[in-house]
A and B are shown apart, each in its own frame.
Chain A
Amino acid sequence: MNEKNRNLLEVYDLKKHFPVKAGIFRRTVGQVKAVDGISFSIERGKTFGLVGESGCGKTTAGRTLIALYEPTDGEMFFDVAPEIIARMRELERQVRSGDLTHEAEWRELKARHDIYSFGKKELRAARSDFQMMFQDPFGSLNPRIPVGDIIAEGLDIHKVYESKNQRKERVEYLMEATGLDPSYINRYPHEFSGGQRQRIGIARALALEPKLLVLDEPVSALDVSIQVQILELLNRLKSELDLTYLFIAHDLSVVEYFSDEVAVMYLGRIVEIADRTSLYENRFHPYTKALISAVPVPDPETKRRRILLEGDVPSPINPPPGCHFHPRCAQCMDRCRKEMPPLKEIRPGHKAACWLYE
């Protein structure tokens, strides 16, 4: 496998549970399983879309991924050779089955390559490789700091410049690359429009020359005419700076337009994962079907059969047993109420978690 098509990121069984506390002693009374075991990989240079409705765990997944939250469980490999990962899988299988001859080697490999096993210092060093851009162009920029300093914050923390001049040059370069006028370097966030603020967010995320950007709803707060400007900018930067994107959004049309591969999340799990064309054309999971059919189409003459889902997304504190989607599913079977369907390949490169395809 050559450098180009190698996976930049591989995530295995990522979980993030938040404790629910109650009473005067703040005892833990339950867990919100915001992300409950998701696995995926992103090829270098590609855009991976993570789509779902509010509360499905897509934002938590993004934040846990870049280690803003400490994961409850899971492994993440960033830019690790596939042979090493394969070797680790093999050793892990041996260890789990009771053969402990290579346990030390396994543990050593894990500590060296699994980001979530990293110590504080290593994590900090690794972190400059993956950065995040946030949804809210108003809340995510400190209103008291001039944009030049906002963009340079990462540079300051990681101390990657030698002189004040070098720092300024880098900031000006970043502003220019993201379509901002470098002469605005000393202005404050409120002097910029929503679209420009998102550009500031992109410039800040790019400051440390990351390889992966997590884009959390980067355009959903913007007007339609501005959305495309930002998406075009992101696409241009991706090829110019050799970036890889994890694109988190609720808007399926935008995700399909912008991503190479798409995963659909529901209540903390990935229910379907495929390249964008196959997802739209085949849509195996009943939830994906309903989701796609609910997206309004800007054409008054298309008449489509809409699958109307009943009710709301259930609470992630106490998700329904078996398949989380079964209470709203029109094709629910007995088995769905009891057993959780695994994510399995239905067509080459197209996986879904549903008992209908057993």
Chain B
Amino acid sequence: MSTFIQTVIVGLRLGSVYALIALGYTMVYGIIRLINFAHGDFIMVGGYTIIFTVPLALALGLPAWAAVLAAIAVCALVGMGTEIIAYRPVRKKGTNMSALITAIAMSLFLENLAQAIPAIGPNPKVADQMFTAGGFRIGSVTFEYTTVITIVISAVIMVVLYMFTQKTRLGRAMRCVSEDKAAATLMGINVNHTIILTFAIGSALAAVAALMYMAQYPRIYTTLGSDLGIKAFVSAVLGGIGIIPGAVLGGFVVGLFESFTTSYISSSLSDAVVFLILIVVLLLKPAGIMGKNVGEKV
């Protein structure tokens, strides 16, 4: 029984990291119908920013995790910059396909740019301890502080984000732009600003995900984003891409399946099971778990 509970907890921890990243994919897809392949690499950017600013945080007498504030700022800037410099011009001139290729190019660009920076280089870097080590026990189940913090903070962020999109004017503007850009602009909504805001929020979430990930696996390398990103992308598609609660649900489904496969079957099969689940869900519900199958309007 304790193994079971432990497995659930690990699944929730993994799931909350995937969910945070999946939110970035899904929000951007929701608003401009673009799969932002560079999103995974924003995690890598966040990770390195944390590594480089931890000494600064410590020097200021702050805890190591405070470096995430710098990472949030840097990631938001990189996200907004990517939209303004790379995606927007292509979207204006080209087709969806050219935008998609641009996203892949941005991903490769960020990965290789990181490698080319001497302070980063191709070798993995090891991060400091982010949160207090150790944990507590309830019965025979161990709760690591890192795990508890990860789950709680992610849950809070997701609730706040949901409230933001549902209850605030900017959130409403985001939903308007996502439904119909032309109608939104005729409501006086500045579509470009709304898109940039979406990128900023999605990228900031990637920075938080980087912190959560590093707290558990303190090894950062330049292609980290592709590995983590693909699972988060699977989560977003699984839940129904473009749907915010779907991304959260997808993240937890992927996290739990991964955790259960690792603990009860084999860790080497965990990825295979995740992708198998994706295939099964998409066969049964092509628009994802929470997606609505919309027939083509004639």
Same assembly: no
Task: Give me the interface of A with B, judged by CB distance under 8 Å.
Answer: none
